[in-house]
Amino acid sequence: MIDFRLGPNDEKLLQATREEALVARKYARFYDENEHEFPPDELPEATELRPALERMNVGRTPDDSSVPVLGMLISMGQTWGDYSVRLRRGKGGLGNAALQASGTPEQKQRWAGETLAMAITEPGCGSDPSKVQCTAVLDEKTNEWVINGEKIFVTTGCRATGVVVWATVDKSAGRAGIKSFLIPKGAPGFIVAHKEKKLGIRADDTAAYVFQDCRIPRDHLLGGDEKVAKQGSGGFRGVMKTFNMTRPAVAAIGLGIAEAALDLTREELEKAGVAVEYGGTLAGTSAVAAKFLQLEALFEASKWTVMRAAWLAGEGKPNNMESSVSKAHAGSAVRTICQGCIEILGPMGVSREHLLEKWLRDCRITDIYEGTGQIQRLIMARELLGYGRDELK
Amino acid sequence: MISFGLTEEQEVVRDAMRDFAAQQLRPIARECDEASEIPQTFLDQAWELGLTSTQIPEAFGGGGEARSPITNALVLEELAHGDATLAVAAVLPSLFANAIVDQGSDAQKRELLPLFTGAKYHAASLAVIEAGALFDPLHLRTVAEPKGDQFVLSGAKRFVPMGARASHFLVLASREGAADAFIVPRDAEGLTITPGEKNLGLRGLETSSLELARVEVPASARLGGAEGCNVRRLLDGSRAALASVMVGLSRAVLDYCVPYAKDREAFDEAIARKQAIAFLLADMHMEVEATRWLAWKAASELEQGQDATRSAHLARSYAAEKSLWIADNGIQVLGGHGFIREHPVEMWFRNARTLGVLEGTVAL
């Protein structure tokens, strides 16, 4: 049955999530201004909150929302406090999602405790990962893969204990030649070159890697399939499926920031004597309140596209299209919302005394990583039009 | 628990409405628009679907099914995908009857609900909108003054759908400064009905203007009787419903543009193969989806008996903005053909603009 209410346990869990998130918010400015300091795993004030959070996440009842839906709400609740909560509570990186989606049972067991980053982008290719230049060559004598190449924009690349790296085993095979490899930190020839300086999400480290004759065991090929398909995209499409859950998650992370911006703006408007009321008409609404309501509607619309994509995942239904809808919608919405909130609050909105200017910088990545808004539109349009990649480029 | 799952029954209803809309609404939409008229045969056909009677309690001759704003949202989207004008005409009696089911007194239910359980379309309408700028349904210029055991209604209403046929009107009027609702029969003394308003869109709807020159109605004509009614709740319901109509209209535009863009060629290939067009279509799809979930959220809160004012407001204002944007860009996808009345897109654009201001411009 269609129902958009939260279950009682959902409410409690989200309440606890927000309490912890508020603790992180106290440190938000510090880790923004001290970009290369790693926030600790545990903030001292939050130690007592952790067991409560973990306890509530077990013992779920049929009245609770599905795990993927709740996951999105928790992500939103976390970044509503500060983006950095993701680092402490988001177990693992994008590489862990790839491991879950494509790993063999043995690999899932071997890498279970690791935080895995994902290294796809290279200096010469971003949105078109089929063009990766990083190579993996099998050394039959030693049963090792030899990795060579460069990777950039690796999210959580410094903190991660391992990484899933995209490399080609056969450049002439195009997409079908691209495989993913599990590489632990400390492998010989695996160099963490530097940490990027960024516009926002500064607490999240973004690394550049160099692989120089980096040797890893043969069984570190993610999924274990060494064959290169003669036709089609081989395992490439399977690897891309990783994104069907991470895209709505990225949307949710951005929307949590946007919600914080809306809440602050509403509070400040109220202090200034402008109440935001529902059910009225444009005729009886001040221009700032009308602008705010427009942003709030945009937020709400975006939020439910995320829930839709997550709900489908929980039902075990395909959500390729819906993931892109949520990512593209939120990617654009959070920019509009944070920019709009600054416009409403005026100079106060750009002052570093408040977090709003930081939220604008933090949310800006939403429309870029995990596939830009343009890539999402390409995916949506192909699906809508029934076109393959050669018909719509 | 958050769920987007339709019940099996809702899936059956949705599919049936989708078929009905494609077979009975879409083919006559243009002629109704051009003639500013809806054939009685269509209204009777739509009536046979039981849209109005099924949710009237058995005690009053109805089907006795639970009132379901969610099912109604599904129905409205599908019907409006066929044609928004005909969809509004088909469900208009439901808007009146549902107000009675939800908020009417026992006497009002006994008197009025059986009217809607017969075999033929029975029109009753809502008189909400008023002339002039700054219309606000919660701050009305039409007033209801108490006089003994009566109310005296004075004022004017515009855009009263199917006014020429309606047996009764639910008239919104200000009583002691607050919005209230009154049931006024069409033969009430002092009530003048002038059909034939000329509008930009929803032309088939036959809207009328009402003049209320000291129309006296008994105190029992107040919706809910002595206990009165919750006008805000009425508006929440109609706003949520309007949002679903706009979702259906938006989806119709998209579904028309997709095959057109795949068929139409420029510079030796289908225009759909150009990102300028393909991305526009993707954006249209994205907003159809987003708008639908907002409409469902409002419907879900109404169904659960929760306060739906915020959700209904946001759903309706977002739907108004996006349906207009989608219809506007639908014209753009078709280029010059979008401007020509051989294609339905210009009609949908006019309808979107009109739907977006019904009940007053909700703050965008």
3-state SS of chain A is CCECCCCHHHHHHHHHHHHHHHHHHHCHHHHHHCCCCCCCCCCHHHCCHHHHHHHHCCCCCCCCCCHHHHHHHHHHHHHHHCCCHHHHHCCCCHHHHHHHHHCCHHHHHHCCCCCEEEECCECCECCCHHHCCCEEEEECCCCEEEEEEEEEEEECCCCCCEEEEEEECCHHHHHHHEEEEEEECCCCCEEEEEECCCCCCCCCCEEEEEEEEEEEEHHHECCCCCCCCCCCCCCHHHHHCCHHHHHHHHHHHHHHHHHHHHHHHHHHHHHCCCCCCCCCEHHHCCHHHHHHHHHHHHHHHHHHHHHHHHHHHHCCCCCHHHHHHHHHHHHHHHHHHHHHHHHHHCHHHHCCCCCHHHHHHHHHHHHCCCCCHHHHHHHHHHHHHCCCCCCCC
| pLDDT value, residue B364 | 34
Count how many residues are written for chain A: 393
pLDDT digits (tens, 9 = 90+) for B194-217: 999 999 999 999 899 999 999 999
In this prediction, residues B299-320 reach a mean pLDDT of 96
CB-based contact A279 B236, cutoff 8 Å: yes
CA distance A349 to chain B (A): 22
Q: Which of A88-92, A144-148, B64-68, B265-269 has the lowest mean pLDDT?
A: A88-92
Distances (CA, A) of B311 to A138, A311, A344, B318: 58, 20, 22, 10
CA distance B17 to chain A (A): 18
| B305 Cβ contact list (under 8 Å, min separation 6) | none
Query: Which sign does the torsion angle of CA B153, B155, B160, B164 carry?
Result: positive
Does the CB of B226 have a partner CB in chain A at under 8 Å?
Answer: no
Q: How far apart are CA A152 and CA A120, in angstroms?
A: 8
B316 class by beta-carbon count within 10 Å (0-12 exposed, 13-18 middle, 19+ buried)? buried
Rg (CA), chain A: 22
CB-based contact A297 B362, cutoff 8 Å: no
pLDDT digits (tens, 9 = 90+) for B118-177: 999 999 999 999 988 888 888 999 999 999 999 999 999 999 999 999 999 999 999 999
pTM: 0.94
CB atoms within 10 A of CB B70: 24
Does the CB of B272 have a partner CB in chain A at under 8 Å?
Answer: yes
Structural domains in chain B, sorted by start = 8-117 (1.10.540.10), 125-227 (2.40.110.10), 231-355 (1.20.140.10)
Distances (CA, A) of B358 to A74, B136, B157, B158, B363: 38, 11, 13, 11, 12
Task: Judge contact between B333 and B282, C-beta under 8 A.
Answer: no
Q: How far apart are CA B272 and CA B276, in angstroms?
A: 8
CB-based contact A305 B290, cutoff 8 Å: yes
Which of A281, A332, A372 to mutate to probe the B interface, most B CBs <10 Å?
A281
Which of A1, A4, A10, A67 to mutate to probe the B interface, most B CBs <10 Å?
A4
Residues B110-132 as b/e (b if ≥16 CB within 10 A, e otherwise) read: ebbbbbbbeeebbbbbbbbbbee
Helix and strand numbers, DSSP H then E, in chain B: 10, 9
- In the Cβ-directed half-sphere of A343, how many Cα atoms lie within 13 Å? 13
Does the CB of B299 have a partner CB in chain A at under 8 Å?
Answer: yes
Q: How far apart are CA B127 and CA B163, in angstroms?
A: 9
Does the CB of A112 have a partner CB in chain B at under 8 Å?
Answer: no
Q: How far apart are CA B141 and CA B139, in angstroms?
A: 7
Side chain identity, residue A382:
R
Nearest to B272 among A6, A298, A385 (CB): A385
ipTM above 0.85, yes or no: yes
Q: How far apart are CA A74 and CA A16, in angstroms?
A: 10
A94 class by beta-carbon count within 10 Å (0-12 exposed, 13-18 middle, 19+ buried)? buried
Q: What phi and psi, each to the nearest 5 degrees, are found at residue B248?
A: -60, -45
SS3 per residue for B275-331: HHHHHHHHHHHHHHHHHHHHHHHHHHHHHCCCCCHHHHHHHHHHHHHHHHHHHHHHH
Nearest-Cα residue of chain B relative to residue A291: B364
| pLDDT value, residue B363 | 38
End-to-end distance of chain A based on CA atoms, in angstroms?
Answer: 39
Q: Report whether pLDDT(B259) > 60.
A: yes
Rg (CA), chain B: 20
CA distance A330 to chain B (A): 10
As given in the structure block, the two tokens for residue A306 are 């995320």
Nearest to A311 among B4, B301, B311 (CB): B4
CA distance A313 to chain B (A): 12
Q: How far apart are CA A313 and CA B340, in angstroms?
A: 43
**Residue numbers of A between 44 and 103 with CB closer than 8 Å to B:** 62-66, 69
pLDDT digits (tens, 9 = 90+) for B100-116: 999 999 999 999 999 99
| pLDDT value, residue A36 | 79
CB-based contact B6 A2, cutoff 8 Å: yes
CA distance A338 to chain B (A): 18
pLDDT digits (tens, 9 = 90+) for A173-198: 888 899 999 999 999 999 999 889 99
CB-based contact A5 B306, cutoff 8 Å: yes
**Residue numbers of A between 368 and 387 with CB closer than 8 Å to B:** 374, 376-378, 380-381, 384-385, 387
Does the CB of A224 have a partner CB in chain B at under 8 Å?
Answer: no
Structural domains in chain A, sorted by start = 8-89 (no CATH), 103-234 (2.40.110.10), 240-385 (1.20.140.10)
Task: Judge contact between B112 and B170, C-beta under 8 A.
Answer: no
Q: How far apart are CA B304 and CA B306, in angstroms?
A: 5
As given in the structure block, the two tokens for residue B77 are 């989207």
| A46 Cβ contact list (under 8 Å, min separation 6) | A20, A23, A24
**Residue numbers of A between 235 and 294 with CB closer than 8 Å to B:** 278-285, 289-290, 293-294
Residues of chain A with pLDDT under 50: none
Q: Which of A300, A296, A256 is nearest to A276 (CA)?
A: A296
Task: Judge contact between A246 and A319, C-beta under 8 A.
Answer: no
Between vectors from CA B169 to CA B165 and to CA B315, what angle results, nearest 5°? 105
Tell me what percent of the residues of chain B surpass a pLDDT of 70.
98
| A286 Cβ contact list (under 8 Å, min separation 6) | A274
A322 annotated active-site: no
Q: What phi and psi, each to the nearest 5 degrees, are found at residue A226?
A: -85, -15
pLDDT digits (tens, 9 = 90+) for B229-253: 999 999 999 999 999 999 999 999 9
Pairing assessment for the beta strands A190-195 and A144-155 based on DSSP bridges: unpaired
| B351 Cβ contact list (under 8 Å, min separation 6) | B84, B85, B201, B202, B249, B327
Q: How far apart are CA B178 and CA B231, in angstroms?
A: 9
Query: Which sign does the torsion angle of CA B340, B346, B347, B353 carry?
Result: negative
| A296 Cβ contact list (under 8 Å, min separation 6) | A262, A276, B314
Q: How far apart are CA B199 and CA B13, in angstroms?
A: 32
- Which of A114, A259, A296, A370 is catalytic? The answer is A370
CA distance A337 to chain B (A): 14
| pLDDT value, residue B362 | 45
Does the CB of B264 have a partner CB in chain A at under 8 Å?
Answer: no
As given in the structure block, the two tokens for residue A245 are 């859950």
DSSP lists the bridge partners of residue A151 as: A209
Q: Which of B51, B88, B353 is nearest to B244 (CA)?
A: B88
| pLDDT value, residue A203 | 87
Q: What phi and psi, each to the nearest 5 degrees, are found at residue B201?
A: -135, -175
H or E element, residue B127: strand B125-127
Nearest-Cα residue of chain A relative to residue B234: A279
Task: Judge contact between B83 and B125, C-beta under 8 A.
Answer: no
| pLDDT value, residue A88 | 60
Distances (CA, A) of A106 to A160, A224, A273, A324: 20, 10, 61, 31
Q: Report whether pLDDT(B79) > 50.
A: yes
- Find how far residue B207's CA is from the centre of its chain: 13
